[in-house]
Homo-oligomer: A and B are copies of this chain.
Amino acid sequence: MPTKEEIIDFLVQQFPQNRCVIDAVGDGAAIVTHHVDHAHLRPGGTVSGPLLMTVADIAIYIAILGTIGIVPLAVTTSLTINFLRKPIADKAIVGNCKLIKVGRSLIVGEVSLHSIGSDAMVAHAVGTYSVPYETGIP
């Protein structure tokens, strides 16, 4: 399976819009962090929902790359997110993903999202990726 460095290289080349930093990846899991600045805030000092969705989506993608190898054609088929608490306005968002199914063509990951330095879950997401048939693990 690819190392964290190989995944970072792939992202830099193929996905330059990515702003998430990979903290850890492997064993069906990944942890990623996204900084928060003024552009990500909403009225009331809240971190925008779409930023949280982005972090959840990327966390699952990184966990997949680290589990089945670098599969450029993995695509999100669905994502459900529940917003639980107001994140801390000026803190980075951490997404902690565990894959709960790695099938032949569908992979499902669960993500808990936190403000860095806090244990309180600010959002919870479950997302499904489709990978080219038989790329996944039966």
Contacts and interface: CB of A to CB of B under 8 A. Distances in A.
A100 B124 contact: yes
Given A77-B83, A124-B100, A17 B42 contact: yes
A121 B15 CA distance: 25
Contacts of A81: 78-80
A135 interface: no
A33 B77 CA distance: 22
A106 B79 contact: no
A79 B80 CA distance: 6
A23 B54 CA distance: 25
Per assembly, the copies of the chain total: 4
Contact of A50 (B42, B57, B75, B85): B57
Contacts of A49: 53, 57, 76, 79
Interface string A83-113: 1110000000000000011000110101000
B126 A82 contact: yes
B78 A101 contact: no
Contacts of A128: 77-78, 82, 128
A41 to B, nearest CB: 7
Closest 5 CB pairs of A and B: A50-B54, A84-B101, A80-B80, A53-B53, A78-B82
